[in-house]
């Protein structure tokens, strides 16, 4: 898994880098086939409410690309919100894959039952 971190108008210090890497490595427990993770951090100084931070995580699996973007007044909370959003997306995708596998298995079981004669099914019960 490759992790790319980009920061615009923000000084990327060691503590922040370690924090981001820890969050990204925590995502690997949800999905093992992650190829590339891109993290982009932005700071907007020209805002009425003060400084607003934007965190964006782009995660590329084998066939899917998941994107989470969050804004907050604190950089660490924006990263945490992004992490929760992308983790929810991964869990949802994983659940969807499992449900399709179950549906396919049921379909095959029903097809097999059509070919088994009734006498054979009655004996097994």
Instruction: Enumerate domains of the chain plus CATH numbers.
Output: 2-95 (3.30.160.100)
Q: How many residues does the chain have?
A: 125
**Residue 17, pLDDT above cutoff 60:** yes
Q: What is the DSSP string of 49-88?
A: TS-EEEEEEEEE-SS-EEEEEEEESSHHHHHHHHHHHHHH
Longest dimension (CA), the chain: 78
Residues 52 and 78 sit within 8 Å (Cβ to Cβ) = no
Write down the pTM of the prediction. 0.77
Cβ neighbours of residue 90 closer than 8 Å, sequence gap 6 or more: 27, 30, 31, 59, 66
pLDDT of residue 97: 82
What would the pLDDT profile of 62-90 be if each residue is shown by its tens digit?
Answer: 788 999 999 999 999 999 999 999 999 99
Residue 70 to residues 44, 52, 81, 115, Cα–Cα distance (Å) = 13, 10, 6, 54
């Amino acid at each position: 898994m490759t992790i790319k971190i980009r920061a615009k108008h923000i000084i990327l210090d060691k503590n922040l880098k370690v924090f981001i890497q820890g969050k990204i490595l925590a995502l690997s427990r949800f999905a093992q086939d992650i190829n590339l993770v891109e993290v982009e951090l932005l700071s907007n100084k020209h805002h009425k409410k003060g400084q607003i931070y934007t965190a964006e995580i782009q995660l590329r699996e084998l066939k899917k690309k998941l994107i989470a973007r969050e804004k907050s007044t604190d950089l660490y909370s924006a990263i945490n919100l992004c992490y929760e959003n992308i983790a929810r997306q991964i869990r949802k995708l994983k659940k969807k894959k499992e449900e399709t596998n179950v549906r396919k298995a049921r379909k095959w079981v029903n097809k097999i039952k059509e070919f088994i004669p009734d006498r054979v099914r009655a004996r097994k019960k």
